[in-house]
Structures are given as structure tokens and as C-alpha cells.
């Protein structure tokens, strides 16, 4: 090993003793950051092209380095690259291999840069592309929801507040609420692009560099909008990591809410939906069981994703500027979060493609719990110029009467209603019809069937 210079650590001329084997083990991040190899190589190619353009390295050396880097990229993509733990991370693993391939000229690659700006550059490029992938995954789930919504415009169900029957709605309207949430997620992720589009490369270790580099050139080459403004902030900043983790957390919260709701609806107590056998699991002891495990998995995963956001916030709290090893954990946190969320979106998509509403049960439930009481109050306001508060009180008396006589609101006879409000006429009875009730909610964003149809067309254009 001593004979082969390439096997030595980069700092072996200065640090005479071998790193303790325990530290070598815990200090190495290669198992995690090897996932950044494409971004790292792209960053290095842009860097040496810039060094040549600025006459900092020769044409010949630039070409040799690029040749070596492309060879390494092919080796890694074909699984022919041996990652070594003792070379700590993706940057040193690649640099070491470059020495093997092109010899001493590899030493020019690290002119005017540091691993500190290199890692932030790699990581921003990776998160930018993950953000785009997340957008496609969100589009897919939105399109699935729109497909199910289109089939259920006239599926009537109770809308709940406090899990108590509140007002009648269309199932489609309920599902479209999740379209709004996932559209906001798309916006949240894409807003992160503003900070992600600032190029860290060239901040070097923390102070910038004395070489005459061109950061606008590397920005353009790597698809960034402009260079970051302060070299110290650049290597210390992980706000873009927090933004990504927060966006993932909110999206996973949306998933956990719909999951919980579908769990409740599929429960024996509610029985409003049926999940296909494809997405349920059985019990080892109770032969009759079909459990919504996949939905519970989705509900639970948000816990892990929030935890990851908090890990990163905690790592950053009170951390002085600029680079510290503490920051190295950011990759593992983001990769885990990303993979979990992508998986959750795929699972949710499959579940939404594999459930069926029990329309009869939904309608039955919607017809109970005096769900059209607000419609009656509104009717009184419109027809007898009552204030809403007096109409509310009058309606409450009617609900009490129905409850006492074990009747639904639409079982009540006009004569019974007139005992409480003598001015009432025959046409009041139509307000107790829940289809009429839904159709009357024509205010923008309301559940009226025509509104829903228009909204579906609008949402389709957004994905
Ligand atoms: N592997 C390191 C990380 O992910 C790269 C930066 C290392 N810089 C250093 N000065 N040790 O954070």
C-alpha cells in the first residue's frame, strides 16, 4: 500500500498516522453519496471547461480530465467501479480513480474549488432534478383523482365536520379538494427552484478563490440561473435542503389525511367504500379480515418524513459558519425522504385506482342526521326576509320536532312544519331533497354539480 501513492489519503503528506479504523468507518459517506456521481461528474466537467476557458489549465489537460471523467461515469453506470470506503466520499473516490486513469494531470482538477462548494453544487443539481420528478409524480396522482372524480360527480355523500354529518356534497367535490392540495404541493416544490437555481460552484472552501474563474460560465453550463452571492453562506447554506424536506413533509401530510379518511370510510362502522383485494391484507388469526394496511402505511410514513425535517433543522441549529462534518448527514436524510415520498405517491395512486364507493350507503348516510337543516334556514332567510340567526333558531325547533317524533326532515308534513312557522308553503319541502341541496351550492368553489364539471376541466389543464 505504501508503494502505491494512489492508495494514500489526499492529506497523507500532512497527517502522518493512519486514521483510526473506527473513524474511517463512521467518517465515510460513500455508501450514501455515490448516488451523486452523475451530478459530481457534470460539475467537474463544467469546472475544468471553465478553467481552460480562463487559461488556468491547458487544452490538453482539460481534455484528458474530461476523457477520464466520462470513462468513470461509464464504469459507475455499468457497475464496474469499485467504491472505496477509505476514500470517504464520492468526490475523492472519483478523483482517485482519475489519477489511475490519466495519471498526475488529474491533480489539476481541484484547482480553484473545494469539496465544500462541490458537494453543495452536486446536491442542488440532484434536488432540482428530484423536484422535477416529484412534479411528474404529483401530476400523475392528480390525473388519477380527476379520473375518479369524473365518474363520481353525481355520487352523493355527507360532508362531515367533526366527523358528524354536516352538509350534502358530491364525492367528486371531496376528491377535488385533494387536487387543490396536490396542486399546492406542486407550487411549493416549484417555488423552491428560485434558491436552487443559484450556483454554489466557485465559492471554494469558504472564501472564494484567487484564480480568475468565471462563475457565470459554470452557472450556464450546469443549468443554474446565476452564481451565489457570498462564498461563506454558500458552503454553509442548507436552506434548500430544508425547503425540500418541508415540501415533502406537507405533501406527506396531505397523503396521510386522505389515507386516514379512506381508512375511516372503509371501516365496518362506516362502510362507505370498498378497497380492492389488491390493496388489503389479511390477518394471521381472523380469517374474515381484510385490513387497509397500505393506507395505514401511508398514514404512518408522514411521521418518518417529519422526523427527517426535524433532524435537519436540529443539525443546522446553532451551527457556526461555514462547513462542518455535521452537514454530511443531509444527503441520507434527503434521499430517504425523497424515496419514501415517491413510494407513498405511487401507493396512493394504486389505491385510488382500486377503491369503489358504496353509493347506496353514502346516500343513506347523507339522508340521515338532518343534513339539510342549513338549507331550510337559508330558505327562510330568502323567502321571509328573516335574519339568518332567527332562521337558524326556527330551523332548530323544526329539527327538535323531527328528532322527538323520530322522523327525518323530508318525512315532515307541511302541516307539522306550519305549527312552527305558519307562513310556510308547499314548496319548502323541496329544500329537504339532498340533490337539490347540493345543486344549490353554486357559489364559486361550491359543491354544485355544474361547478364540479367546470373545475374538472380547469384542473385538467393544470397537469
Ligand atoms: N462529503 C462531504 C459532505 O457531504 C463533502 C464536503 C467535505 N468537506 C470537508 N471539508 N470535509 O459534507
- What's the CATH number where 46 sits? 1.10.275.10
Distance 116 CA to ligand 1 centre (A): 6
Examine residue 251 and state whether it is found in any structural domain, yes or no.
yes
For residues 67 and 190, membership in a common domain is answered with: no
What's the pLDDT tens digit per position in 351-393?
Answer: 999 999 999 999 999 998 899 999 999 999 999 999 999 999 9
Stated as kind and residue range, the H or E segment containing 157 is strand 156-161
Distance in angstroms (rounded) separating the CA atoms of residues 427 and 409: 14
User: Can you spell out the DSSP letters for 287-352?
Assistant: TT--B-HHHHHHHHHHHHHHHHHHHHHHHHTTPPSS--GGGGGHHHHHHHHHHHHHHHHHHHHHHH
Contact 115 CB / ligand 1 (< 6 Å): yes
* Grid cell for residue 457: 376541466
18: DSSP letter: P
Contact 89 CB / ligand 1 (< 6 Å): yes
Domain carrying residue 51: 24-111
Among the atoms of ligand 1, which is closest to the Cα of residue 29? 1
CB 155 within 8 A of CB 357: yes
Residue to substitute in 113, 328, 329, 333 for testing ligand 1 pocket (most ligand atoms within 8 angstroms of CB):
328
Contact 238 CB / ligand 1 (< 6 Å): no
Q: Would the pLDDT of 102 be above 50?
A: yes
Domain final residue pick, 341, 358, 375: 358
At a CB cut-off of 8 Å and minimum separation 6, what does 448 contact? Answer: 438, 439, 440, 441, 442
- pLDDT > 70 in the chain, percent: 99
Sorting pLDDT into bands at 50, 70 and 90, what band is 5? low
Distance 96 CA to ligand 1 centre (A): 16
For residues 295 and 418, membership in a common domain is answered with: no
Radius of gyration of the chain measured on its C-alpha atoms: 31
Domain final residue pick, 310, 325, 358: 358
CB 338 within 8 A of CB 316: no
What's the pLDDT tens digit per position in 133-160?
Answer: 999 999 999 999 999 999 999 999 999 9
What's the pLDDT tens digit per position in 117-126?
Answer: 999 999 999 9
Measured at the CA of 224, the angle between CA 218 and CA 230, to 5 degrees, comes to: 80
pLDDT given for residue 2 in this prediction: 36
Indicate the number of domains in the chain: 3
Contact 116 CB / ligand 1 (< 6 Å): yes
Determine the average pLDDT of the residues in 400-409. 94
Residue to substitute in 235, 238, 325 for testing ligand 1 pocket (most ligand atoms within 8 angstroms of CB):
325
Contact 241 CB / ligand 1 (< 6 Å): no
* 283 noted as active-site residue: yes
pLDDT given for residue 272 in this prediction: 95
Contact 327 CB / ligand 1 (< 6 Å): yes
What's the pLDDT tens digit per position in 337-352?
Answer: 999 999 999 999 999 9
Domain final residue pick, 332, 358, 384: 358
For residues 338 and 372, membership in a common domain is answered with: no
Examine residue 304 and state whether it is found in any structural domain, yes or no.
yes
- pLDDT > 90 in the chain, percent: 87
Examine residue 218 and state whether it is found in any structural domain, yes or no.
no
* Active-site choice (21, 162, 385, 443): 162
Beta bridge partners, 343, equal none
For residues 150 and 50, membership in a common domain is answered with: no
* CA proximity to 124, closest of 248, 244, 247: 244
For residues 375 and 332, membership in a common domain is answered with: no
For residues 248 and 337, membership in a common domain is answered with: yes
More confident residue, 427 or 9: 427
Give residue for cell 385510488: 352
Phi, psi for 324 (deg, rounded to 5) = -140, 155
Q: Would the pLDDT of 333 be above 80?
A: yes
Residues in the chain: 463
For residues 44 and 78, membership in a common domain is answered with: yes
Distance in angstroms (rounded) separating the CA atoms of residues 302 and 135: 19
Distance 110 CA to ligand 1 centre (A): 14
Sorting pLDDT into bands at 50, 70 and 90, what band is 23? confident
For residues 307 and 414, membership in a common domain is answered with: no
For residues 86 and 180, membership in a common domain is answered with: no
Query: What CATH number is given to the structural domain containing 381?
Result: 1.10.40.30
At a CB cut-off of 8 Å and minimum separation 6, what does 300 contact? Answer: 256
Examine residue 318 and state whether it is found in any structural domain, yes or no.
yes
Among the atoms of ligand 1, which is closest to the Cα of residue 331? 4
Distance 396 CA to ligand 1 centre (A): 67
pLDDT given for residue 165 in this prediction: 87
Contact 315 CB / ligand 1 (< 6 Å): no
* Active-site choice (12, 77, 283, 390): 283
Distance in angstroms (rounded) separating the CA atoms of residues 207 and 109: 19
Examine residue 13 and state whether it is found in any structural domain, yes or no.
no
Distance 236 CA to ligand 1 centre (A): 11
Sorting pLDDT into bands at 50, 70 and 90, what band is 58? very high
Query: What CATH number is given to the structural domain containing 319?
Result: 1.20.200.10
Sorting pLDDT into bands at 50, 70 and 90, what band is 3? very low
Nearest-CA residue for ligand 1 atom 3 is 328
Examine residue 216 and state whether it is found in any structural domain, yes or no.
no
Examine residue 209 and state whether it is found in any structural domain, yes or no.
no
Q: Would the pLDDT of 7 be above 90?
A: no
pTM of the model: 0.93
Distance 247 CA to ligand 1 centre (A): 25
Contact 328 CB / ligand 1 (< 6 Å): yes
Determine the average pLDDT of the residues in 218-227. 98
Distance 328 CA to ligand 1 centre (A): 6
For residues 190 and 67, membership in a common domain is answered with: no
Going from the C-alpha of 312 to that of each of 128, 256, 429, the distances in angstroms are 18, 22, 59
For residues 197 and 300, membership in a common domain is answered with: yes
Beta bridge partners, 168, equal 158
Helix extents (H) in 54-165 = 59-77, 90-102, 115-151
Examine residue 208 and state whether it is found in any structural domain, yes or no.
no
Distance in angstroms (rounded) separating the CA atoms of residues 315 and 216: 31
Going from the C-alpha of 234 to that of each of 109, 124, 200, the distances in angstroms are 21, 11, 6
pLDDT given for residue 1 in this prediction: 35
3-state secondary structure of 198: strand
For residues 298 and 354, membership in a common domain is answered with: yes
Amino acid at each position: 500500500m505504501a508503494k502505491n501513492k494512489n492508495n494514500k489519503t489526499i492529506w497523507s503528506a500532512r497527517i502522518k498516522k493512519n486514521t483510526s479504523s473506527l473513524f474511517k468507518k463512521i467518517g465515510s459517506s460513500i455508501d450514501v453519496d455515490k448516488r451523486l456521481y452523475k451530478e459530481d461528474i457534470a460539475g467537474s466537467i463544467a469546472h475544468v471547461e471553465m478553467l481552460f476557458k480562463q487559461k488556468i489549465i491547458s487544452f490538453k489537460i482539460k481534455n484528458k480530465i474530461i476523457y477520464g471523467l466520462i470513462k468513470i461515469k461509464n464504469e459507475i453506470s455499468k457497475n464496474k467501479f469499485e467504491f472505496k470506503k477509505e476514500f470517504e466520499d464520492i468526490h475523492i473516490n472519483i478523483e482517485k480513480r482519475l489519477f489511475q486513469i490519466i495519471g498526475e494531470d488529474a491533480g489539476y482538477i481541484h484547482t480553484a474549488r473545494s469539496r465544500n462548494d462541490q458537494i453543495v453544487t452536486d446536491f442542488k443539481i440532484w434536488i432540482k432534478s428530484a423536484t422535477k420528478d416529484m412534479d411528474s409524480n404529483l401530476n400523475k396522482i392528480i390525473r388519477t383523482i380527476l379520473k375518479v372524480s369524473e365518474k363520481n360527480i353525481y355520487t352523493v355523500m355527507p360532508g362531515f365536520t367533526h366527523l358528524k354529518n354536516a352538509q350534502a356534497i358530491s364525492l367528486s367535490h371531496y376528491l377535488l379538494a385533494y387536487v387543490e392540495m396536490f396542486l399546492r404541493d406542486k407550487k411549493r416544490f416549484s417555488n423552491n427552484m428560485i434558491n436552487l437555481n443559484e450556483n454554489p460552484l466557485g465559492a471554494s472552501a469558504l472564501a472564494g478563490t484567487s484564480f480568475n474563474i468565471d462563475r457565470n460560465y459554470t452557472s450556464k453550463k450546469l443549468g443554474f440561473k446565476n452564481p451565489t452571492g457570498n462564498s461563506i453562506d454558500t458552503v454553509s447554506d442548507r436552506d434548500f435542503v430544508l425547503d425540500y424536506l418541508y415540501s415533502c413533509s406537507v405533501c406527506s401530510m396531505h397523503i396521510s389525511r386522505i389515507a386516514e379518511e379512506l381508512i375511516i370510510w372503509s371501516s365496518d362502522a362506516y362502510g362507505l367504500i370498498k378497497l380492492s383485494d389488491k390493496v388489503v391484507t389479511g390477518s394471521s388469526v381472523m380469517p374474515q379480515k381484510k385490513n387497509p394496511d397500505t393506507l395505514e402505511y401511508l398514514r404512518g410514513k408522514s411521521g418518518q418524513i417529519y422526523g427527517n425535517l426535524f433532524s435537519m433543522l436540529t443539525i443546522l441549529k446553532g451551527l457556526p459558519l461555514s462547513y462542518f462534518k455535521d452537514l454530511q448527514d443531509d444527503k441520507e436524510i434527503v434521499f430517504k425522504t425523497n424515496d419514501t415520498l415517491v413510494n407513498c405517491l405511487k401507493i396512493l395512486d394504486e389505491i385510488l385506482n382500486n377503491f369503489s364507493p358504496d353509493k347506496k350507503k353514502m346516500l343513506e348516510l347523507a339522508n340521515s342526521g338532518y343534513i339539510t337543516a342549513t338549507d331550510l334556514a337559508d330558505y327562510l332567510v330568502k323567502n321571509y326576509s328573516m335574519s339568518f340567526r332567527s332562521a337558524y333558531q326556527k330551523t332548530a325547533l323544526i329539527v327538535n320536532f323531527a328528532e322527538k317524533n323520530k322522523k327525518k326532515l323530508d318525512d315532515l308534513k307541511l302541516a307539522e312544519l306550519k305549527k312552527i312557522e305558519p307562513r310556510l308553503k308547499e314548496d319548502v319541502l323541496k329544500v329537504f331533497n339532498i340533490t337539490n341541496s347540493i345543486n344549490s351550492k353554486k357559489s364559486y368553489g361550491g359543491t354544485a354539480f355544474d361547478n364540479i364539471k367546470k373545475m374538472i376541466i380547469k384542473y385538467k389543464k393544470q397537469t
